[in-house]
Amino acid sequence: MTPLGAVFRPQLAPERLRSVCEVAEEAGLEELWLWEDCFREGGISTAAAALAWTERVRVGVGLLPVPLRNVAITAMEIASLHRMFPGRAIVGVGHGVQDWMGQVGARVESPVTLLREHLAALRALLGGERLSVDGRYVKLDGVALDWPPQGAQGGVLAGATGPRSLRLTGEAADGTILTASTNADGVREARRLVEEGRTAAGRTAGPHRVVVYLLTATGPGAAARLRAELVAEGLDSVPDLGVAGDAGAVAKAVQRLVEAGADTVVLQPTADEPDPEGFVRFAAEKVRPLVP
């Protein structure tokens, strides 16, 4: 069965998160995803709260921008989530939006090099290794976590869009997060590039999870809201992007992405979604039964 999730968008005030979590738990949503968008909610803090307010829902962070974070701090925080809430935290990292990174003085000359170094160190630290690294960006001297995660926790995911980054996620991450600007053809191409990276790194054994966001609008004015968001994001020329309609239409769009190579589909409401709690209930109670 394909895991299905929904996004709590950071355009909503942080105090709205609890009610959305409560609905997600009650309705049986499998995964609730959060974003660390500058300069809105923090990813780890909101994930910890969401996990504490629920007992069953898996909580994803997609993603933490690595230019903002020392890898040791990232590892400490992720390990803490895994130990406090075993099997329920899903964490992805990525380049971050370069304009935002520039605003805070964290923009680097080679985002791909930074992400590669960060992923290698992060996965090693979470695996319980003691690490000394003298990379271009990541530098560690005998660092090990006192409280690494216990058992397999699903690994570290990475967000990517361009070919180099997608190959890198196959090479160095345990899964890939694709944005809502990815249609079914984009998923196929991303999966191909990820597999190229996995093959080059000799990491073809075992699964590599691909998570895709699907921009979704339902209810009154759904088609107009979807169209407005695509236009605002400059994505209105991309064919078959996003979905507007009832549960049946959304389930068919989800299935197209799954057939193209997605392992998990996360429904992303439009930024002006009028009822975030209702959207989560719609995903869990109306769409989920229609997705095999």
Write the pLDDT tens digit of every residue in 173-191: 999 999 999 999 999 999 9
pLDDT digits over 106-161, tens only?
999 999 999 999 999 999 999 999 999 999 999 999 999 999 999 878 899 999 99
pLDDT at position 56: 98
Q: Is the peptide bond before 63 cis (omega within 30 degrees of 0)?
A: yes
pLDDT of residue 181: 97
d(CA 232, CA 252): 25
Query: Which residue reads 């991450």 in tokens?
Result: 173
Cis peptide before 279 (omega within 30 of 0): no
Q: Give the pLDDT confidence score for residue 39 in this predicted structure.
A: 94
What is the pLDDT, as a whole number, of residue 151?
83
Tokens of 249: 């239409």
Contact predicate 155/174, CB 8 Å: yes
Residue appearing with tokens 């992303």 = 268
User: What is the reported pLDDT for 153?
Assistant: 82
Cα-based distances in Å from 139 to 68, 133, 143, 156: 15, 5, 10, 20
Beta carbons within 8 Å of 107's beta carbon, 6+ residues apart:
67, 98, 101
Give the pLDDT confidence score for residue 155 in this predicted structure: 94
Residues present in the chain in total: 292
> ∠28-33-38 over CA atoms, to 5°?
155
Determine the Cα–Cα distance for residues 179 and 3; give it in Å rounded to an integer. 17
pLDDT for position 177: 98
- According to the model, what pLDDT value does residue 152 have? 76
Distance CA 277, CA 283 (A): 10
Largest CA distance in the chain: 57
Give pTM, 2 decimals. 0.97
Q: What is the DSSP string of the chain?
A: ---EEEEE-TTS-GGGHHHHHHHHHHHT-SEEEE---TTS--HHHHHHHHHHH-SS-EEEEEEEEGGGS-HHHHHHHHHHHHHHSTTTEEEEEE---HHHHHHTT---S-HHHHHHHHHHHHHHHHTT--EEEE-SS-EEEEE--SSPPPS-----EEE--SHHHHHHHHHH-SEEEE-TT--HHHHHHHHHHHHHHHHHHT--SS--EEEEEEEEE-STTHHHHHHHHHHHTT-TTSTT-SEESSHHHHHHHHHHHHHHT-SEEEEEE-TT-S-HHHHHHIIIIIIGGG--
Q: Which residues of the chain have pLDDT under 70?
A: none
Question: What's at 219, amino acid-wise?
Answer: G
Residues 265 and 4: their CA atoms lie apart, in Å, by 5
Q: Encoding tokens for residue 271? A: 């930024």
CA gap 20, 269 in Å, rounded: 13
